[in-house]
Structure 1
Amino acid sequence: MLLCLRIENFALIDQLELEFGAGLNVLTGETGAGKSIILDAIDAALGGKVSSRVIRTGTSRAMVEATFTSNAPLAAWLTEQEIDLLDENSVVISREITATASNIRSRSRVNGVLVNRQIMGGMRDRLVEITAQGQTVQVGQSAQVRDWLDLYGGDSLMQQRHKVATSFSTYQQAHLALEKRRTSERERLQQLDLLTYQVQELGAANLSEPNELEQLGQERERLNHVVDLQQMSYKVYQALYQNDHETPAAGDLLGDSEAILNDMVEYDTQLQHLLELVRDAQAAVMEVGRQINAYGDGLEADPQRLEEVEERIQELKQICRKYGPTLTEAIAYYQRIQGELAQLNDSEQSIENLEQQEKAFFEKLTQASNQLTQLRSKAAANLESRLIAELKPLAMEKVKFLVEILPAFPTAMGADKITFTFSSNPGEPLQPLTEVASGGEMSRFLLALKACFSQVDVAGTMVFDEIDVGVSGRVAQAIAEKLHQLSQRNQVLCVTHQPLVAAMADRHFRVDKQTINPGKGKKANNVNAEQRTVVRVTTLDNLNTRREELAQLAGGKSASDAIAFAESLLLQAANHRRGEHT
């Protein structure tokens, strides 16, 4: 239930604070007095669309704050959204709207916590339901009518709708996979040819060792310098092991050094470790000499092998230019495209298999949609009888109403096209509601529809914006009684011009425009502030003020006959309320 509404700089409202009560809350006033602005403010607080026009001229910021009573389900939902509870009894929703040079910005808060549009949508669904004659367009929209019927159908129907949505998502994925495969078949074949060629080329190159190119480079250097290596190895051999010239080799010098140290050790054993070092050095030098000699003897020119190495180096460089730039990267690319080629050749992803998969998922979607249609047909029959029962007291005793459900291609919402058909005159065929219902009939239909919904789901606060436009007399009285009936289960806010409706109110507000002088000579955004129009709201909390307002609604002035009529309305409303509670 909406407890309090605080508004600042919203349209024609500068400052306003309203306290609402349980039951039927009515807003009356002259046409254009600003009654709908208050409902627009409630809508804005709950995340409704706004434009720069909602910000009061001469200001750059508007604010709306609405305080609602809380309940256990709402408190649990807020906890799920990680929003702290202020207390167990209330929740505060606010929205700040600011204007910039190029656009407007708004920030919404729940209990002081910044929230996004999705959370605000969840709050709105749990707190308020707004009904206006503008919903005539919605009544003609199959999607909106379908949502209303599904809501009326209850949890079992909504659960089946969720199954249909899941099934449709699965089918859609299979369908898109098939279409993607069909449209990309040419590209797939081209890619298949390319990868096949590349795999064959890289496979033929027999790539296995990332360092092969460096190793081949070293081998090429050796083969190109065989003679030089032979000559140098022989020089090393002579220097270390056996010199053909008079100059002694290093091995001979170390032998002489060993003999001398051996004699010295006989006189001083401390030199023994030096003797051992010389002996080790001599052994190492002699071993190097033997190995370098064997190395030199083993060297021989091999033009054929050199040619093979050169060809292999050129082959690997070509591979690197195409798939590298390094041999390591070329090998990695080879390994990757082998996997890609396997996927392209995967028989499980053939068009035929994808077609079979799509067909199977479509059959499951069709089955789920058929079950949803059955539940909708059951809900439609129930809604038809209930809605007719609600319309009869609204001076529509001969009305006929049928929910037409026609087959359509399955979507996430099922396979039904739903239309409300209607006939208010005997002998006239059922036709789409929006094509044959008058304004007054549409008002009563919407009211009856909300009355049906209230029997299966308590909305909390129901808002009706001039739902009684275009009716009078007996019909207006029936609407008043229906609104009062709804207010026994829900808080009802109603903007009305009908004295019959206003008389039934538990809480009555009069809305009017006033001209004020905020500050002589002051200007804001080139607006002369000497005189400004503002919306003011008066709570009519005593019998005299209510009687005066009802007289104004009935007769346009407080004449004696209008006052008498107003008194009769208040008495009639009081008797009706007493009759309901006896």
Structure 2
Amino acid sequence: MIEWIRIKNLALIEEAEIEFKSGFNVITGETGAGKTILIGAIGMLLGERADKASIRTGCSSCEISMSFALPSSVSKSVSEILDTAGLPPVEDKQVQIRRIITATSSRNFINDSPAALQTLRNLGNILIDTHGPHEHQSLLRQSVQLELLDRYGSLEKLTSEASGIYEELKKSRIEREELEKGIPSSSEAEHFRFIVSDIAKAGVNADEEEELITRHRLASNSHDVLETAKNAAGMLKESEGSLTDRISEIYRVIQGFEGADPEMAAKFLKQCESLTETANELADGIQRYTGNIELDEKEFTELEERLRIIQNLKRRYGPTLADVVNTAENARRRLDEFENFESIRSGFIGKEKSLNDKLLKKCSEISKKRRELSAKFAKKVCGELRKLGFARSDFTVDFKQTEPGPSGFDVVDFIFSPNPGETAKPLREIASSGEISRVMLALKTVLSAADSIPVLVFDEIDVNIGGETAMIVGQELKALGNSHQVLCISHLPQVAACADTHYSVEKSVVKGRTFTAINELKNADRKSEIARMLGGGKAAEKHAEEMLE
């Protein structure tokens, strides 16, 4: 059950904490006071979309939180949800959910651990069943009626299995249709065959280029150094017109004036000899250096050729080598589709036949169970309807069959006759909004006995009813409170008087700002609120007192 809800800066509520009790809790108040804010807060705590417009004017964020005491009937399911989400296990059978909402984001927590919004929704599906005004119309839809029947019979596992088979069948059909539509022409097949051959000849793989570039860079550096050093050594003494050759020429020229000035000539000649010796030593040192450089010319040539091939392939099928490999794989697959079209298509057809047979078998199993439980379901609903003022009404479930789908091949209609002598017709054709409210309450009552959801929330379930019927609805809600915690927003004093715990929502204006407060009513305060709902005055006060006795 919900132990408490805390609200801060949500719409008209600046700050509030409401402690709920077990049994039937009713919430009343003037129209526009903010009763639905509380229901909206519960919805947001269980994963509904949070709108920035819900933040109180002048505030940057709002915060809502709730503490939930887990009954043993849902403890295992809650633990599985938290475990799947990677969240810590439950301690002391208590779950606390908190949301902080800003204009741009929402942060969610379960027992103070950050949680995804989907995890909140998953918890909500097993903790709280909410009925709002919009569900009156949803009850008229055949798909919703089928869901209610399945929920009563606990057929969710079977329908989930049918849905899985259906989705697999649907996927196979789509893949086969795409194959049939996309089968290559003969000319396209030839093109794919060329691509496969062209890339296969190179024998490339997506990961080799990086290693080749690294090896080529190292080899290229060695090659460049070796070539440069060889050129330098040749310029010194080996190539034609080398430095040593030029020094020799200078030596001979100087010898030409040796007779005229032997002293200077001797000096210059000695310097030439020194230069020649230095040039020879430098050339020898460079040659020794180049001798130590390891270079496999064949490997270098092969690396350059391999990179050239890869570059050409990238230019044709790239831009990356991974794209080239993917192009080859896609071309090979498309070529395989062309060459083995009938075989692949036959495989799909065989798979679809097997899945269709499997789906039909599962749908038949589900349909049989639905038909078996529908009579019991209808009998229980009729019993609840009698309690709600339809003393001689009739309620049955009608079945029709359609194409197999994710929930089976049944289409159901809830057939309803509110009064004897009236032709029974589908609910959507005859029910007034007041009748729909009571039918929905009857269904909720029957379902609540069949499932383990511990909390039922009703937002104006009593719309468009009054008088004795309203009193009956209140009594039925109180009876529901014996097995579930019930929260109900109501405008009817007859319903409010039946509640175990009564809360009032009041709106006030202080210094130009609107505030909403939520308070538990007891004794005189409760009598005054019910008197207000009756219209006020002495007579209303007396009537309120009688209703509460």
TM-score range normalised by the length of the shorter chain? 0.7 to 0.9
CA gap 1:359/1:41 in 2 versus in 1, 3 angstroms: same
1:355 aligns with 2:349: yes
For 1:24-173, what aligned pairs fall within 5 Å after superposition? 24-71=24-71, 72-74=75-77, 76-77=79-80, 78-85=82-89, 87-99=91-103, 104-154=104-154, 157-173=155-171
* CA-to-aligned-CA distance 1:251-297 (integer Å, 9 cap, x gap): xxxxxxxxxxxxxxxxxxxxxxxxxxxxxxxxxxxxxxxxxxxxxxx
**Residues 47 and 108 in structure 1, CA contact (< 8 A), matched pair in contact too:** no
For 1:487-526, what aligned pairs fall within 5 Å after superposition? 487-517=481-511
Listed as ranges, the gaps of 5+ residues in structure 2 are 204-305
What displacement does 1:433 show? Answer: 1.7
What displacement does 1:507 show? Answer: 1.0
What displacement does 1:159 show? Answer: 2.3
Aligned twin of 2:4: 4
Q: CA RMSD in A?
A: 3.1
**Residues 2 and 20 in structure 2, CA contact (< 8 A), matched pair in contact too:** yes
What displacement does 1:354 show? Answer: 2.7
CA gap 1:418/1:183 in 2 versus in 1, 3 angstroms: same
What displacement does 1:184 show? Answer: 0.6
For 1:241-260, what aligned pairs fall within 5 Å after superposition? none
Aligned twin of 1:384: 378
* CA-to-aligned-CA distance 1:501-533 (integer Å, 9 cap, x gap): 11111111111111113xxxxxxxxxxxxx111
What displacement does 1:198 show? Answer: 6.2
CA gap 1:195/1:384 in 2 versus in 1, 3 angstroms: same
| C-alpha distance in structure 2 between counterparts of 1:51 and 1:188, whole Å | 54
For 1:192-341, what aligned pairs fall within 5 Å after superposition? 192-196=189-193, 341=335
Aligned twin of 1:401: 395
| C-alpha distance in structure 1 between counterparts of 2:192 and 2:544, whole Å | 90
Counterpart amino acid of residue 46 in structure 1: L
Aligned twin of 1:232: none
What displacement does 1:412 show? Answer: 1.8
What displacement does 1:6 show? Answer: 0.5
What displacement does 1:191 show? Answer: 3.6
**Residues 202 and 309 in structure 2, CA contact (< 8 A), matched pair in contact too:** no
Q: SS of the counterpart of 1:368? A: helix
* CA-to-aligned-CA distance 1:165-192 (integer Å, 9 cap, x gap): 221122122212210111112x364442
What displacement does 1:37 show? Answer: 1.3
| C-alpha distance in structure 2 between counterparts of 1:207 and 1:91, whole Å | 62
**Residues 85 and 91 in structure 1, CA contact (< 8 A), matched pair in contact too:** no
**Residues 174 and 361 in structure 1, CA contact (< 8 A), matched pair in contact too:** no
Q: SS of the counterpart of 1:16? A: strand
| C-alpha distance in structure 2 between counterparts of 1:443 and 1:465, whole Å | 11
Aligned twin of 1:482: 476
Q: SS of the counterpart of 1:47? A: coil
Q: SS of the counterpart of 1:396? A: coil
Aligned twin of 1:413: 407
CA gap 1:2/1:165 in 2 versus in 1, 3 angstroms: same
Q: Give TM-score, length-normalised by structure 1.
A: 0.69
**Residues 47 and 118 in structure 2, CA contact (< 8 A), matched pair in contact too:** no
**Residues 2 and 67 in structure 2, CA contact (< 8 A), matched pair in contact too:** yes
What displacement does 1:558 show? Answer: 3.8
Q: SS of the counterpart of 2:134? A: helix
**Residues 390 and 419 in structure 2, CA contact (< 8 A), matched pair in contact too:** no
CA gap 1:413/1:188 in 2 versus in 1, 3 angstroms: farther
* CA-to-aligned-CA distance 1:478-498 (integer Å, 9 cap, x gap): 101110110000001111122
CA gap 1:347/1:533 in 2 versus in 1, 3 angstroms: closer
1:174 aligns with 2:154: no
| C-alpha distance in structure 1 between counterparts of 2:199 and 2:79, whole Å | 63
* CA-to-aligned-CA distance 1:508-565 (integer Å, 9 cap, x gap): 1111111113xxxxxxxxxxxxx11111122112x222222221112x2241x22221
Aligned twin of 2:516: 535
Aligned twin of 2:541: 563
**Residues 548 and 558 in structure 1, CA contact (< 8 A), matched pair in contact too:** no
| C-alpha distance in structure 2 between counterparts of 1:58 and 1:372, whole Å | 55
What displacement does 1:130 show? Answer: 0.8
CA gap 1:349/1:564 in 2 versus in 1, 3 angstroms: same
| C-alpha distance in structure 1 between counterparts of 2:2 and 2:441, whole Å | 20
CA gap 1:193/1:482 in 2 versus in 1, 3 angstroms: same
Counterpart amino acid of residue 181 in structure 2: T
1:545 aligns with 2:525: yes
Counterpart amino acid of residue 412 in structure 1: P
**Residues 65 and 94 in structure 1, CA contact (< 8 A), matched pair in contact too:** yes
| C-alpha distance in structure 2 between counterparts of 1:84 and 1:200, whole Å | 56
CA gap 1:37/1:335 in 2 versus in 1, 3 angstroms: closer
CA gap 1:121/1:325 in 2 versus in 1, 3 angstroms: closer
CA gap 1:505/1:349 in 2 versus in 1, 3 angstroms: same
* CA-to-aligned-CA distance 1:405-441 (integer Å, 9 cap, x gap): 3222222222222332322133333333233211211
Counterpart amino acid of residue 496 in structure 1: S
What displacement does 1:132 show? Answer: 2.2
What displacement does 1:2 show? Answer: 0.5
1:366 aligns with 2:346: no
What displacement does 1:344 show? Answer: 4.0
* CA-to-aligned-CA distance 1:319-356 (integer Å, 9 cap, x gap): 99986889xx9x99999777874564236744344333
What displacement does 1:70 show? Answer: 2.4
**Residues 178 and 358 in structure 1, CA contact (< 8 A), matched pair in contact too:** no
| C-alpha distance in structure 1 between counterparts of 2:325 and 2:35, whole Å | 73
Q: Give TM-score, length-normalised by structure 2.
A: 0.73
Aligned twin of 1:296: none
Counterpart amino acid of residue 33 in structure 2: A
| C-alpha distance in structure 2 between counterparts of 1:333 and 1:85, whole Å | 45
CA gap 1:21/1:357 in 2 versus in 1, 3 angstroms: same
Listed as ranges, the gaps of 5+ residues in structure 1 are 209-315, 518-530, 572-582
| C-alpha distance in structure 2 between counterparts of 1:473 and 1:198, whole Å | 83
Aligned twin of 1:456: 450
**Residues 481 and 504 in structure 1, CA contact (< 8 A), matched pair in contact too:** yes
What displacement does 1:41 show? Answer: 1.1
Q: SS of the counterpart of 1:557? A: coil
Q: SS of the counterpart of 1:401? A: strand
Aligned twin of 1:577: none
CA gap 1:319/1:27 in 2 versus in 1, 3 angstroms: closer
Counterpart amino acid of residue 76 in structure 1: S
Structure with higher Rg: it is: 1
Counterpart amino acid of residue 440 in structure 2: L
Q: SS of the counterpart of 2:543? A: helix
* CA-to-aligned-CA distance 1:92-136 (integer Å, 9 cap, x gap): 11111111xxxx421211111121122111110121111123202
What displacement does 1:197 show? Answer: 5.4
| C-alpha distance in structure 2 between counterparts of 1:179 and 1:392, whole Å | 54
CA gap 1:188/1:158 in 2 versus in 1, 3 angstroms: farther
**Residues 85 and 111 in structure 1, CA contact (< 8 A), matched pair in contact too:** no
Counterpart amino acid of residue 346 in structure 1: N
